[in-house]
Amino acid sequence: MTSVHFRIAPIAIDNGMKLTRTLAAGLLALAGLVTAAPARLTKRSFDYSTEKLRGVNIGGWLVLEPWITPSLFEQFPDYGGDSPTVDEYTFCKTLGSDEAYKQLQQHWESWITYEDFKALADAGVNTVRIPIGYWAFELWNDDPYVQGQLAYFDNALAWAEELGLNVMIDLHGAPGSQNGFDNSGQRGNINWLEEDTLTLTVKVIDELASKYANHPAVTSIELLNEPLGASLNMTVIKQFYEAGYGTVRQYSSEVDVVIHDAYVGLTEWDGFMNTPDYDAVVLDTHIYQVFNNWQLELSLEDHVRAACNQSDSIGLSNQKLWTIVGEFSGAMTDCARWLNGFGIGARYDGTYYKGSSWIDSCDGESNVNSASQFSADKRANIRQFVEAQLDAYETGAGWIFWTAKTEAAPEWNFIDLVNNGVMPQPLTERWYGQQCS
């Protein structure tokens, strides 16, 4: 047995708060790092050395995102980005607990079903990544969130077990928000790096791991989705990952522990958590080509080239830690309604609220429900782009498409892309050859 090392020292954080010895000691206690870590595994639950992870995210279900299910947010006034209701936090606050629970329960029951999981399994997917917020386990201060998600999450694990799908549990939202995006539950300020929010996050990981780490369908637990490294303290994020790892290892020596790259690049993680003190650690990076103007101006050929250019860095990272692309899509524009946030326009057509220059019209894209409504040329272009990404990302340990379903964003809708011949079937089929060779 070898012990896990955790640096205990005051660390300055952007807002002036210090990570004190008391907090660090608390994280140690919660993580159980006073005990020895398990020996290195002789068998892992998902063998990355012999199999590629090919997965799909179950987005917009247990954590709301307005662009995935805009029908839930159409009841609220849209003030061009200034609406008071823009995420799950304000959804619950505006409606009140009784009405919010009523609407969310109906959503939980209907948005993702057994049939959706079966469609994914039939399409050749071997893994589903299921986002869930901390508020499903614990509430913080005067949170307006409502609970009840875990009963539906349990159903999803049962479906996955029956269908032979692996499950990656993804803690998608942390108290105070780790990135300020609506996908964290609360859009706006980033207040995660406080003593009570950090401690609560590790407590939630403890509850999550104690309940699910040994479930037959669960092969991995992602400690936190997309902490925004540029706005946080990377040393603290790494300490949090170490504490989270120790927490999970108290309950299972086999489940993989997934860490996000915090958008600081794969090389930042060279030498981190790949010593004999750690095992079954997976590095997750997310790659999109639609969230800045220069990417939106790329031609199809340039989008394909940009995807292929990721191959070398992913492959090199994968030699140090198993590396997956845990989110990507078929989108080459940001025209999907509210993709940039409720009430916010698109960079592509110049309506983005922070300013952008017009590239082309979003007509025919922002209100399209299915890829069947696209032209044959557009469907072919998306398929070519998707194929290039699959090839590039499989230089690493695999990929997880975002997302299983959308109401009105076909380039992001895996099941719809399969049904319309845009997603390869089988997933290894290629119409455009090996574009990244």
Q: Which of 150, 109, 173, 60 is nearest to 414 (CA)?
A: 60
| 46 Cβ neighbours under 8 A, 6+ residues apart | 53, 127, 166, 219, 220, 256
* Helix H or strand E encompassing 302: helix 300-308
Q: Pick the catalytic residue from 65, 226, 242, 365.
A: 226
List 131's β-bridge partners, or say none. Answer: 170
Asked if 154 contacts 195 with a C-beta cutoff of 8 angstroms, the reply is: no
For residue 224, how many C-alpha atoms fall within 13 Å in the half-sphere facing its CB? 36
DSSP E strand boundaries for 233-366: 256-260, 281-286, 322-327
Q: Pick the catalytic residue from 65, 327, 387, 411.
A: 327
**Distance between CA atoms of 368 and 385, rounded to whole angstroms?**
19
**Cα separation values, 149 from 145, 154, 271, Å:** 11, 9, 37
- 226 given a catalytic annotation: yes
**Cα separation values, 83 from 5, 86, 90, 199, 409, Å:** 46, 7, 10, 32, 22
Type of residue numbered 17: M
Known catalytic residues? 226, 327
